[in-house]
Amino acid sequence: MDGYKDASGIIVLAATNRADILDKALTRSGRFDRKITLEVPSYADRVQVALVHLRPLQLCLSSTESNSSDGGGGSSPNTAYTSRQTYAETIAALTPGCSGADLFNICNESAIQAARDNAKAVSLKHVHRAVERVLVGLERSAVTYTPHEKERIAYHEAGVVVLN
C-alpha cells in the first residue's frame, strides 16, 4: 500500500467474498499484489475440521439410536456402534459447500440440542437437528396478524400495485 516503506515490517491483508467487484485501484500493482483464493473444504477436509470441533463435546459413543437390530438399543451382535469418526463423517456428508465456521456452528448447535433434550451426550439425532437448524434455519410457526396489521399490509400492497 502507498505510504509504507518496504522495511517497515507491516503486512496488510484483506479478505472478500466478492473479488469481482473490488475497485481496480485496490488491485493495481503496488497495492494488493498477491491474491490467494481459499475454497471451501473438501469432504476429507470437513471430516478433519469436524473432528477438531467435536473434540470438546461429550458424544454418545454407544450403540446408535436407530441402527440396533433389536430395536431396544441392546448389545446384540448386529448392533452398530458410533465412533467420533462416524460423527465427523456424518457432519461432512451433510455439509457440502460449508466453511469451517459453519462446521463449528453445527458442532456447537449439536451440543445446544443435546442440552435442550437434557441429554448427557450429543447423539447423531442432535447432529441432524443441528445441521438442519444451521443450514436451513428455524422452523417458523404460522404467522397470524391482527386485523389492524392486515389492514396496514393491504394498504402497503395496494400502494405497491399503484406505483408499479
Instruction: Please report the DSSP string for 70-109 in residue order.
Output: TSS----TT--B--HHHHHHHHHHH-TT--HHHHHHHHHH
* Alpha-carbon torsion (85, 98, 110, 131), positive or negative: negative
Pull the grid cell for residue 77: 451382535
Q: How far is CA 105 from CA 43, 99, 108, 126, in A?
A: 17, 10, 5, 13
Strand partners for 63: 81
Sign of CA dihedral 65, 70, 72, 75: negative
| Residues with a known catalytic role | 157
Residue 122 β-bridge partners: 59
Residue 123: how many other CB atoms lie within 10 Å = 22
